[in-house]
Amino acid sequence: RDLPYLYEHGAHIIVNVCGRSKEDYVEVVERLADEDVDMLEINISCPNVKAGGIAFGQKPEMAEEITKAVKAVAKQPIVTEMAKAVEAGGADGVSLINTLTGMKIDVARKTFALANQTGGMSGPCVKPVAVRMVYQVANAVSIPVLGMGGVQNTEDALEFLMAGATMVAVGTANFFNPYVTSQIIDGLEEYVKKEKLSSIRDIIGCVK
């Protein structure tokens, strides 16, 4: 449904793939094989119903297994999580972080605010954790790292790049500023000129 619109507007397309079993992931990747998609992001934060609900990314051997299964049928580069395990499974890159698990209690009703009791917490509050994890992973694997988590402005993006991310994603900030991604891109260009760099790539992983 969405792909024709994205093609028309010249977007680079990364599709986030999720599922409740290994077969789910493989089916989706197979259906996308002949689409003009730049990259597939395999979301292994999803619960594996066959393993009692544990997330695919909680066990390295499970993360490696699903990465191998997806790589066998994918025609696009694969980006996923659980750094060393998915690198061993053939991943082309890793993306981190996803949301952190949080909880909200409705004090007036004396019960959980969310039906599932817990939910994903995103936004500026997760950025220090995300930057730390990007730094650690970028220094542990040889594949590219896509950093995300609380990016609101150019300075935030620069933090991720200096920590070792080769790409930066913007999520929550789009909800209160639809222009934020373009503004960050402009800011990075200004930074390159100000620092007299040949490319923004010059600062990737510069903090050791």
Task: Report, as residue numbers or ranges, the catalytic residues.
Answer: 46
> What are the tokens at 110?
């004396």
Q: Is 69 exposed, middle or buried (0-12, 13-18, 19+ CB in 10 A)?
A: middle
| 126 vs 156: CA distance, rounded Å | 12
Report helix, strand or coil for 14. Answer: strand
Report helix, strand or coil for 80. Answer: strand
Q: What is the end-to-end Cα distance of the chain in Å, rounded?
A: 44
Phi, psi of 27 (to 5 degrees): -60, -45
Residues 133 and 96: beta-carbon distance below 8 Å:
yes
> What are the tokens at 17?
């793939």
Residues 154 and 184: beta-carbon distance below 8 Å:
yes
